[in-house]
């Protein structure tokens, strides 16, 4: 995938500079039909007091992973993440409002300066935006597809009793809480480890405390 790094031309640029910039945009742009894109949503659910992470053991693939699943038609992303987590673990988790560095546009207020474009990256707006996404070719698709998994920060207590019978009949998953210090050696996929680390960083940046004197991921 080509990532365009050429800076946007200034308002007073000449036509040749604008044309070159638009050519770069055109080269970097691609189209994929909806059937070639898979959107999944999941959570990084942490018991803040116990410093533990909610994961699932996939009995079919023999690995630990974060709870996630495909979004339903017309379903919101956060709604899908919470539903999939409940279905796979039997636990009703609560989303965390965090100060996430995001490219989403902040809500406008009466003092907004409409003469200037908002910054590309916005901070200082606590929200339930996703903390990040994992992208990879979908290995379970019969046709070529790019899978994008959006993860949201959430919390629950590791002492909560899960509901039974929430999984689909074909799913063979077991929920488990693991210490954050064991994330890097437990989760099978490095990108999911990075997702958890980013969530931990965002939680701390937002002024929330995770455990007391508990070792974090990679000793952090």
Output the pTM of the full model: 0.90
How large a percentage of the chain has pLDDT more than 90? 72
> 1 pLDDT exceeds 50?
no
Give the chain's length: 220
Distance CA 132, CA 129 (A): 9
String of b and e for 114-126 (b: at least 16 CB within 10 Å)? Answer: eeeeeeeebeeee
Site of tokens 């990679």: 218
Of 22-36, 41-55, 160-174, minimum mean pLDDT range: 160-174
The first and second tokens of residue 51, run together, are 């410093």
Domains identified in the chain and CATH numbers: 34-102+119-219 (3.90.79.10)
Cα 40 vs. chain centroid, distance in angstroms? 10
Map residue 102 onto helix, strand or coil.
strand
């Amino acid at each position: 995938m080509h990532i365009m790094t050429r800076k946007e031309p200034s308002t007073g640029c000449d036509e040749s500079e604008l044309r070159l910039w638009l050519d770069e945009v055109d080269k970097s742009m691609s189209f994929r039909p909806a059937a070639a894109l898979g959107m999944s949503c999941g959570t990084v659910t942490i018991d803040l007091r116990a410093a533990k992470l909610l994961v699932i053991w996939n009995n079919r693939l023999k690995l630990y992973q974060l709870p996630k699943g495909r979004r339903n038609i017309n379903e919101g992303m956060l709604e899908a993440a919470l539903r999939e987590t409940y279905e796979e673990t039997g636990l009703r988790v609560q989303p965390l409002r965090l100060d996430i560095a995001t490219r989403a546009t902040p809500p406008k207020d009466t003092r907004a300066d409409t003469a200037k474009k908002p910054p590309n990256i916005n901070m200082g707006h606590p929200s339930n935006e996703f903390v990040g996404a994992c992208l990879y070719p979908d290995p379970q698709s019969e046709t070529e597809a790019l899978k994008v998994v959006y993860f949201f920060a959430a919390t629950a207590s590791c002492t909560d009793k899960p509901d039974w019978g929430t999984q689909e009949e074909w799913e063979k998953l077991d929920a488990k809480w693991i210490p954050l210090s064991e994330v890097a050696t437990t989760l099978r996929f490095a990108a999911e480890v990075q997702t958890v680390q980013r969530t931990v960083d965002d939680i701390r940046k937002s002024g929330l405390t995770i455990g007391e004197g508990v070792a974090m991921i990679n000793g952090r």
